[in-house]
Structure formats: structure tokens, C-alpha cells
Structure 1
Amino acid sequence: MKSQKHNDSSQMKEALQHDTQQNPQKEKEKHEKEQHSNDSTNQDSFLPSSSRICSAENVKDGQAECQQKERTSSCCQLKDMRRLQHGDMKLGPLRFDKRHTVLIDVDTFNSQRKILTQKGRDLWHSDFVKMPCSQASMASSLQKDSLIIQEKVAHQKSRWDVISKKLKSLASKKTASVKDVEEAIIKYNPKYKDQWSFDALHTLDQITPHTENYYKTLFPKIAALALKLPSFVNKAIPLLRKGQSAAITMSQVQISCLLANAFFCTFPHRNTSSPNAEYSGYPSINFNSLFGNWSRRKIEKLRAIMHYFKEVTDESTRPKGLVTFERECLSYTDMPTWESCKANLSKLHITSEGQIELEGKGMLQVDFANSLIGGGVLGSGLLQEEILFVINPELIVARLFTEKLEDNECLIITGSQQFSYYSGFGDSFEWAGPYEDQSQRDEWARRKTKILAIDAMNFRHSVDQYRMRHITRELNKAYCGFKGYDGHENPDIATGKWGCGAFNGDPQLKALIQLMAAAKAKRGLAFFTFGDENLKQRLQRIYELMFAEGITVGTLYKLLRDFSPAKHCDSHVDLFDFIEKNRNSKSHL
């Protein structure tokens, strides 16, 4: 299935190209600067490609059923990979406990299959999300005749009163302009009046042909959705903090309401990233950074985001399910002793074509994540993780409550919905129209979609990745995500060149690391090389050799240990060649 044709008009493309061509050097410098900023994330994106899968051959119950196609192979076909759709996992009734917060009424859901808000109370506390509608969120007066902004306690009033007054004014209109949106946001964020720009949002509005421009009628609907926060989210939302395994389940409607507030930049204490800021260890959530410093990238992102809001504000298309966000922390006692691991290699499918989020549907889809979830999705980043978040905007809400991931942690999102097609990546990325997600739902009304966010190491010097402590870190990080935590039979894994590109990872090494972690977790691996035919062929060859000879994870770890000094002595030595030549050495047996 190829991406749907871009329904963009030539008029819009010409406007974008004209603006870029007016100062191409400035545009190039801007992208180069952003490429190296904190917003940058792993480079190897979902490259645009045909969805026709090159099929290897079958593996059944761990034994190769060799067929002849080009040549005999021990790899398996994509259709043989286990997916969530292949079996109905018996989850049992939806339930909450100390580590699982549920924001809907569990009893009503279990008995009537209705989604109602869970009653609760607001908590203005460091362990919980500080909500825009909290009574403790105050708007301070500004002393205009002073260079220093001073808080005047006597003149403080509820910040939500200010927010709701402006949003009610917007929501009451049939149409609202970008200027109206800008004025509303600045009214309750006065400190940033001269700092925040809205030129990307203005440009989107200006270059969109009148017949396609629905934004003016959509802005009031987003404002109305944001205003429902006090009734949609009653229960305090805990922060998913480092060092603690915990989960949050909420409805897709609740997510849309939270994101509507992010659109209108209402979340308090979330507008600075300074090291001593309260939320310095969390990603940004307010959309102000997406609205300013226009670029073609941001225009395309905004088109996808606006389409999402169009869907969730329409009663006929509003999603009616649940989504779970689960932070998992791998304890040090659960970390494998890789050198002595006896696990045999798992089944493997390798292809240079296709996309993780399409051909890998129903599998555990790997998000090549930034340790700050979402990476540069609210900036100019448009690589694998950011694209994933743009076409699945519900993922963005994870930035509200997920602290920076540690080396032994991951985030698993179950049930998110894809809303858009796309083509390209980076500067070539384009929103390619609406996507109708046909994924089935599980017993908890979640889409049968699992996305795993794991962050690879960023190597300034490429040779550092071959140090065994770094290889072990990456093995533990991948295993943390692949392990499976719910006691059910888990789907196989759809992944690719995790941590390569901008993070300087070696695709050969990263492929073997993920193969080892998958074997330990007893899960198959579908590896997408994103157009890299050479890697596909070489990985297939080395896998066949190791599989045929029964090389275990522990043996492979020892081979990597021996490769490390060899690579430091000669940077040109090839990992796959080294394994092929040394795989029968007695020191590895």
C-alpha cells in the first residue's frame, strides 16, 4: 500500500517554494542549526518507499523450512511474524492499582462499556501534572514601570479565569483568525509577548487556498475542546518519573482535550527549558515552538496537526477508545548476563522496502526515540520519531508527563491511532492526506497498536560505540523494551537502523544488538533497512551463517568483545567479516 497522494494544491507548493527560494542560504543555515540542536533525534527515518515486501523464506518452530527463491534462506516471511491481531490476549477487566492510573470510570467501563470521566481531585504537587485549570495556578500582575517583573500577591487571580475568558470568546465565534489565536495565547502568557512568534501559523493560513482553508472555522472548535478540561480530566495525572515503573490509561477524548490545551499553550510552568526550571527534565508540551520561526517542515507538520484536530472536534469522527502509556524500568537484577546467555537467535525477516508503521502494523513498532520523548516534534525535527508523532498526534501527550528516559528505561504506548499519511522525511516530508485507521481494538478499547520508545546513545566519535560498556548499555536498553511485562504472549518486533545516522550508530552493530535482545526476549524481529539493499543482503548472509551453526547470544557477545579491540586498532575492519572469520574460534565456545 503506497502512501495516499498528496492533496496539496500547486498554489500552496508554489508559495512555499517561492518563500524558500527568496533566501535559500538562510533556509539551509536554519535547518543545519536545527539539525544539531537539542531537538535533533536519530536520523534514520521511515524513508519513502514502496510497500511491496521482499520475502525471505519460512521458519517454523525454530527450524528452517528452506525454499528456493534466489537462494536458500533461513529468514522468514513477513506474514509469519506474530502480530497483535493474530490472537486475542485475555486482558481481563480494566483495573487500576498503585502503578496504573486510570482516568476513566473503571466500573462503568467494565459493566456498560461506556467511557466516563473518573471523579477525582486536583493535586498541585511535584509528583503530578500541574493543570491549567487548577485553583493553585495563579496569574500574576506585571509591574509595567519596572525592568523587573514582580509578583503582586494582592492582585493575583486564577489563571484559568483568564484562560477561559479568552477561549470562551474564541469558541463563541463562527470563525477566528490566527491573530485572534495569538492574542488569546499572549493574554495569559504576557511574559512571552516579545519572545514568541506565530509566523508559521500565519504562513500556513496565508498560503492555503481558500477552498482548502478550514482553519478559521476550526480554531473556535479547538478552543471549545480546551475549555472542557475541568470536566474531562478530574483525576490528577501522575508524572511518569525516572526509576519508577508506572502506567497511565486515558481516553482518546481526554487526550484530545489535553492537546487542545497544549495548542493554546495553557500548561503552567512549561515554557522554559533552563537547567534549574521545575520541568527541566521533561520535554516541552505547549505548542508555541511549533508556531514560530516558520519553515516548510513546520508548515507540513501543522497541516497534519490541524487535520487531527479537525477529526477529534467532529462528532462523527471523534475517536472513542483508550490509550495506555507505560514507563518500564529494568531492574539491575533483571539485566541479563549476556556473556553466558544460551538463547538461540530468533526468527528474522529482513527487507529493504516498506515502512515500520505500515508493514509492521500489529507488531511492537520501535520508535527510534530521543531520551526526551518526541524529540523535535514541536520544533523543526522531522526524522523517524518526529514523523511517527506527527502522524499519530496522540503520542505527543506523553511529553506532558514523561520524564527523560534513563539508560534502563523505555516507554510503551498501546492504542494510539494513526490519523495521517505522509511521504518523505526531513526537508522532503509532506503531509499526504487523511489516514483511516482500521486497527482492531482490544478488550480495553485500545487500538491493537504498540509503539516502543527506546533511545540509543549518541556517539560523537563513532569508534566509541564498540566499547563493551556501550554495547552492553544498548543491549540492556533494547532488552528493556523487548522484554514484555504483562505476562501475555507478545507480538514480534518491527525495527530498523535504530540509533544510526545523526547518532552515528553502525547499522551492522545495531542490527546484531537488537537481534540479541529479541532472542533473549523470545521474540521475532522484522528488520527494515529503509532502502539499504547492501545491509539487507549482508545481514541476511551473516544471520544465515550464525543460525545454521547454532551460535547463541552469549557466543555472539564474546565475538563482539573480541571485535572491540580490533576495531580500535583498525577502524576499517568490518564487523560482519570479522564474525564470519572468527565465529568458530575456541574462545567463543
Structure 2
Amino acid sequence: MKRIPQCDNTLGPLDFSKMHTVLVDVDVFNCGAGPIPQDGRDVWHNDFVKMPFSLSSYMKTGYTKQTNTVRWEVIYKQLRSLSKKTTASVKDLEDAIIKYNPKYKGQWSFDALSSLVKADPNGSNYSPKLFQKIAELALRLPELVKKAVPLLKRGHPAAITLSQTQIACLLANAFFCTYPHRNFSGPKAEYHNYPSINFTSLFGNASSRKKQKLRAIMHYFQEVTAKKLTGLVTFERRCLKETDLPNWRSSNKKMHKLHVASYGTIENEGKGMLQVDFASSWIGGGVLGSGLVQEEILFIINPELIVSRLFTEKLGDKECLIVTGSQQFSNYSGFGDTFEWKDPHEERLNRDEWARLQRQIVAIDALPFKHRSEQYNMNDVTRELNKAYCGFKGHQSNEPDIATGNWGCGAFNGDKQLKAVIQLMAAAQAKRGLAFFTFEDESLKQGLQQTYHLLVTERTTVDKLYSLLQNYCATQQAYGSAHVDLFELIRINFSPSKSLL
């Protein structure tokens, strides 16, 4: 399979454009001096992230605007006081956070964070000085992020490149719940179409899952407050126009390369490939809650991904998010209730010309189905084809192959065989190979290998598979609860004996 080191695309000097916002000084960076924050000004506008240090962000301390307090003054006072403590407890952290979020006094719980600290007071994931260090990092926001951060809005392709230090600072502010207007989730809330970013939901309602998540988060902050970070990370929202969509009914593309493995993971064995995040349309899914399936695990071991929740609006049907350069900080074992933080991850990837680690992740959200039978209709199948194609479509001449697996087949109730065929078709249309990990499903591995071999041998094209899926969906609907085996249907329709009739 083709991996990033084998791809010889030349980036050229780092540059910004109307569609690419760069938060570091491009001229300084291109001279080799490393990432220095780009000068700019605060913008309190609906097209940009409303920052905690904005002079337009007030706290109600009186009945008129003139008697209210600029919120950053309160944040600064609380976090500065916290940073100067010899030791800082969870109660100290809670008191500081509630001072500038007084509406939530008595509503927000910090018991999950408390249980971690009690269980590991001086262990590998927590040290008595860590809260103070995170507070110091959070307070650097006005000096580290001077340029306004645009929102990656639906229907608008755009990219943001920022330094790892800037990401760490932004996440430190998420940890201390400083972002204004981001604690409301109702339909009338200003950011109702964005994921949550403040960490309140991670701190409360203690569970073994949250304990393990917090171990990873604490390890991340231990690392970023102790070491100098030198890299950049790019977050890019890609959108397909109607004219970009393939005509699946008439596509003559043939199957591309396929490697199937029942063991191994996308992030390890798929290293150097375009790694698929089985995403929620709300990027990151339940990473700040109790969720611990593929996407949440990916975000927990690569915490820099969490910052995408700050500026990425809910993904539309023809959109994806591609993240280039994020760093893995933790190793883990298990899945869901068996997930455990294992140990620190030693990053060995090379960096590209823009100092980004050679890791590329694409977030594509599958449709969720309450009942499995709901997915067998061509409107939904076509939607999934377009979504996968949006993520798989290359934008340069020499792109790495794709590492994927049972996309949308866990909590979203997707049919493993159908989702595998959909991804095969999308990869064929994009002319990219697939490394497919079945996560210990040996039966799926063998079935997919045999099906792929038949499709290649018979030179089956995407349009023929699309036509077969139409028949398959009609058959599934006719049979109701009885399941029709898609791989078997492909074997019957495309076997050599069938083609001779």
C-alpha cells in the first residue's frame, strides 16, 4: 500500500489565502525561525470564534453594560491566582471556573476529575503542579493567538493552520471552560450547530470510561507544559459541489487495490495512509462525554483533534474534515468499557515541509440508523457513497492509500458488508487503494477478500455494482426482517458462469 513517505508532492513555502487562514507568521516560518504567532486583532463576529479575552465578552455584575465586567478580567484573576498556588486541588479548579461561569454553580459536577486525582495523586497522569501549569498555559492566549480564528462553516471549503503550541493553549482554555457562549446547546443557542468545547461534561458524572479519558488528557497536558512544541497542524473542511458528485449509475471505474486484515488498527498498521475517522457529524462525537468508540478513542489519543470542535460546524452530507499533522500522545488498549490508557506514545513520524507530522486523518460521518432495516434504500446508499467519496477524493497527483474499516457499523447500526462495498466503490471512483481492517472479524475479512477477487477478475465497474445495490435494497425491503447476504448476491450475479449466460 502507498504511504505518505512514498508520495512526492511538493508543498512549497507555507502560504495563506482567502480559503487558508494561517495563525503563525508565514514570513518568519519560511525563514526557518519556527512558528511565531501572526499579529492580528480580536474580531467579535459570527464568522469567527468568540475568544475568552475579547473586550466584547462581558459578565453581568450590574443592570447596565457600563457596570458589567469584562469577562477576561475575572478569568485572568482566577487563573493567575490558581497558577501561583503551591498545590491546587480539584476544588480550587472548580471554584475558579464557577467564578466566571456563575450561572452553573450547583449544576456542574467535577466528581470524575476528583476521582482521578484521588486515585492517582502523584502518578504518571497527574502531578500536584499540573493544574497550575495548565492555568499558566491558558493565560497565554492573548499572546499566542493574536489573529482571529475563522469558523469552518457548512458549505464553505476552507482551512486553518496553527501551531501545536497554539492548539495546546486553546485546549487549556477548553479545560478551564473559558469560551463564551459555548455552554448552551439548545436550538436558540448561538453555537447550536457546533460541538461543545468547554470540558465541563468530561469533568462530571464519574465513570471508569471518564477516568481513562482523563488519564489521557492529563498526560497530554503534562507533555505540552513540559516540552517545546515545534510543529503545525492543518484543519481543512472540504465540500463537494453538485458538479463534483460522481454519476454512480454510469461510472466505468474498476476496483482499485485492496488489502484486508482482521487484526491491526487504522492508527498503527495504517500509519502513513489517509486514516478514516468514523466520525459523528458533530466532530469528535462523545469525546467530552462518555463515548468511547473509534472516533472518541482517536481524539483521546490525539488530543489536538479536539480543538476542531472549537471552529468546525456540523458536517453536511457532502462534506468532510481532513486534519494533517496531529500528534499521538498516548497508547491504549480495549474499546468502549474495556478501554484503558496504556502508556505514553513515542512519536516517530517525520514532518513535511510545513513542519506537520506525516499523519493525515479524514473525518466522514456515516448515517445513524435506529433500526438496521432503515439503511436499505438507494437515497441513503447514494448519500454514503457521496460522503465516502468526499473523504477519499484526492486533491494532488500522488496521494497515499486509505486505511479504513467498519465505518458506521457500531452504534450507528450499519451493515458491515454494505458499508465495505460502498467504500470499495468510493475508493475505485477516487482511484485510491484501501487497507481495510475488520477488527477481528475473520468472517468479514474472508468474505470481502473473496468478493473483491471476483470483482477484479470479472472487471466489474462501479455502475454495475450500483445497479446491483438497487436490486439488493429492493430485495431487502421485500424480505423485511430476513437478511439477504450482499456478498453472496454479488457472487451469484458476477460469477463467471453468470456472465456466460
Give the TM interval when normalised to the shorter protein.
over 0.9
* Counterparts of residues 53-202 of structure 1 (less than 5 Å): 81-141=1-61, 151-202=63-114
Aligned AA (1:93): P
Aligned AA (2:110): F
Moved over 3 A (4+): 209-215, 584-589
**Deviation (angstroms), 1:211:** 5.2
The aligned residue for residue 576 of structure 1 is: 487
Aligned AA (2:381): I
> Equivalents in 2 of 1:325, 1:211: separation in Å?
33
Cα gap change, 1:188 to 1:491, in 2 (>3 Å): same
Contact 2:232/2:355, CA 8 A, preserved across alignment: yes
> Equivalents in 2 of 1:320, 1:163: separation in Å?
28
SS in 1 for 2:411: helix
Structure 2 counterpart of 1:537, from 441, 446, 454 = 446
Aligned AA (1:428): T
Aligned AA (1:245): P
Structure 2 counterpart of 1:450, from 343, 354, 360 = 360
1:365 aligns with 2:275: yes
The aligned residue for residue 185 of structure 2 is: 273
The aligned residue for residue 308 of structure 2 is: 398
* Counterparts of residues 437-516 of structure 1 (less than 5 Å): 437-485=347-395, 487-516=396-425
Contact 1:343/1:553, CA 8 A, preserved across alignment: yes
SS in 2 for 1:518: helix
**Deviation (angstroms), 1:115:** 1.0
Greater relative contact order (CA < 8 Å, ≥ 6 in sequence): 1
Contact 2:34/2:230, CA 8 A, preserved across alignment: no
**Deviation (angstroms), 1:153:** 2.2
Cα gap change, 1:265 to 1:497, in 2 (>3 Å): same
- TM-score using structure 2 length: 0.97
Cα gap change, 1:213 to 1:364, in 2 (>3 Å): closer
**Deviation (angstroms), 1:170:** 1.2
Aligned AA (1:182): E
The aligned residue for residue 336 of structure 1 is: 246
1:293 aligns with 2:205: yes
Contact 1:129/1:238, CA 8 A, preserved across alignment: yes
SS in 2 for 1:501: coil
Structure 2 counterpart of 1:263, from 147, 159, 175 = 175
Structure 2 counterpart of 1:235, from 135, 138, 147 = 147
Aligned-residue sequence identity (percent) comes to 64
SS in 2 for 1:112: coil
> Equivalents in 2 of 1:538, 1:201: separation in Å?
45
Q: Which has the larger displacement, 231-240 or 578-587?
A: 578-587
> Equivalents in 2 of 1:564, 1:117: separation in Å?
53
> Equivalents in 2 of 1:220, 1:365: separation in Å?
35
Residues 315-359 of structure 1, C-alpha deviations (whole Å, 9 max, x = no match): xx3321000000000011110001111111000000000010000
Count of matched residue positions in the alignment of Structure 1 and Structure 2: 498
The aligned residue for residue 244 of structure 1 is: 156
Contact 1:558/1:588, CA 8 A, preserved across alignment: no
SS in 1 for 2:289: coil
> Equivalents in 2 of 1:112, 1:320: separation in Å?
11
> Equivalents in 2 of 1:330, 1:232: separation in Å?
33
The aligned residue for residue 313 of structure 1 is: 225
Runs of at least 5 residues in structure 2 that lack an aligned partner in the other structure? none
**Deviation (angstroms), 1:152:** 3.6
**Deviation (angstroms), 1:587:** 11
> Equivalents in 2 of 1:128, 1:113: separation in Å?
28
**Deviation (angstroms), 1:466:** 1.8
What is the Cα-based RMSD across aligned positions, in Å? Answer: 1.6
> Equivalents in 1 of 2:328, 2:351: separation in Å?
13
**Deviation (angstroms), 1:287:** 0.4
Cα gap change, 1:479 to 1:587, in 2 (>3 Å): farther
Q: Which has the larger displacement, 452-461 or 365-374?
A: 452-461
The aligned residue for residue 324 of structure 1 is: 234
> Equivalents in 2 of 1:587, 1:438: separation in Å?
50
Residues 535-559 of structure 1, C-alpha deviations (whole Å, 9 max, x = no match): 0001111111111110011111111
**Deviation (angstroms), 1:567:** 1.2
Contact 1:171/1:224, CA 8 A, preserved across alignment: yes
1:419 aligns with 2:339: no
Contact 2:121/2:127, CA 8 A, preserved across alignment: no
SS in 2 for 1:411: strand
> Equivalents in 1 of 2:499, 2:315: separation in Å?
36
Aligned AA (1:256): A
Structure 1 counterpart of 2:428, from 519, 525, 529 = 519
Runs of at least 5 residues in structure 1 that lack an aligned partner in the other structure? 1-80, 143-150
Cα gap change, 1:213 to 1:368, in 2 (>3 Å): closer
